[in-house]
Structure 1
Amino acid sequence: MAVSKIKIARVEKDLTQEDLAKIVGVTRQTISLIEAGKYNPTLKLCIEIAKALDKTLDDLFWQK
């Protein structure tokens, strides 16, 4: 599931939700909601998150 993939990638980069939020220009609450699967980010935000975590969109958001 995409939620855990984002959190795992964030923790692997040693980033807090606050750190990632600052990098991509949103609030920590937004990152929390995305990780919890309670908020669907825009494509633009998905791309920013993927860039910040050095992952592809497929790595983070593709559900198999």
Structure 2
Amino acid sequence: MYDASGYEIELLQQRLEENGISKAQLNLDNLAGLTFGELNAIVKNAIANEKAKKGEQGNADE
């Protein structure tokens, strides 16, 4: 396993922003040292929580 690269972190950060979560709310740069899989799990959960707050149901992978 390896730490996520800057490019991977940027892609995940964009995915958060596409789902209404700003970098101010969840800055993945602060989670340096985690693997892509670990960061991806955090992103999926954050998106699912955001959708639940808005009363939406759906898949965080969208």
Q: TM bucket by the smaller chain?
A: 0.3 to 0.5
- Structure of greater Rg: 2
Q: Calculate the TM-score normalised by the size of structure 2.
A: 0.41
Task: Kindly indicate whether structure 1 or structure 2 has the higher relative contact order, using CA contacts under 8 Å at least 6 residues apart.
Answer: 1
TM-score when scaled to structure 1? 0.40
More helix per residue: 1
